[in-house]
Structure 1
């Protein structure tokens, strides 16, 4: 796939159909290192809307995870594990 002088690319038809996008649709690009993810932008992209959609699931999950007495930040740090990009010497 080539990029035009204007920096444009054509999204393959199969991907457009899978995403449900067409002329006039809005999309988001998210960088993950040297990979770029394209996703359809819709009302669910709004943080307040996403929170409202997730709230019932969040409520259902409350109290189901044993954080071993850690606060939220410490637990997330534990889940992520040690960072490879930090010099430990």
Structure 2
């Protein structure tokens, strides 16, 4: 198990073996995701937005901005 110490400023130095495993380098961002109360996962946020293309497959139907606005307005009116 790898450990690190929190400084008085709330900072932690990520140990080298963890940085290497996550492929995290100087200037990269990481995210902390709570997976259950009191337990977090640290995830390297190093992917380019371009790498996410196609992650969810192709949409079943194309929707115009006008159709989106109409749906938002209708649902907003129904929520009142």
Q: With structure 2 as the length reference, what TM-score do the two structures score? A: 0.54
Q: With structure 1 as the length reference, what TM-score do the two structures score? A: 0.49
Q: Summarize the alignment of residues 7-18 of structure 1 with structure 2, pairs less than 5 Å apart.
A: 7-18=10-21
How many residue pairs are counted as aligned between the two chains?
55
Q: Of 6, 9, 22, which aligns to 1:6? A: 9
Structure with higher RCO (Cα < 8 A, 6+ apart): 2
Stretches of 4+ aligned residues off by more than 4 angstroms: none
Structure 2 residue runs of 5 or longer lacking an equivalent are: 61-80
CA displacement, residues 25-79 of structure 1 (integer Å, 9 cap, x when unaligned) = 11111112111111111346x6xx64722317xx9xxxxxxxxxxxxxxxxxxxx
Which structure features the higher share of helix residues? 1
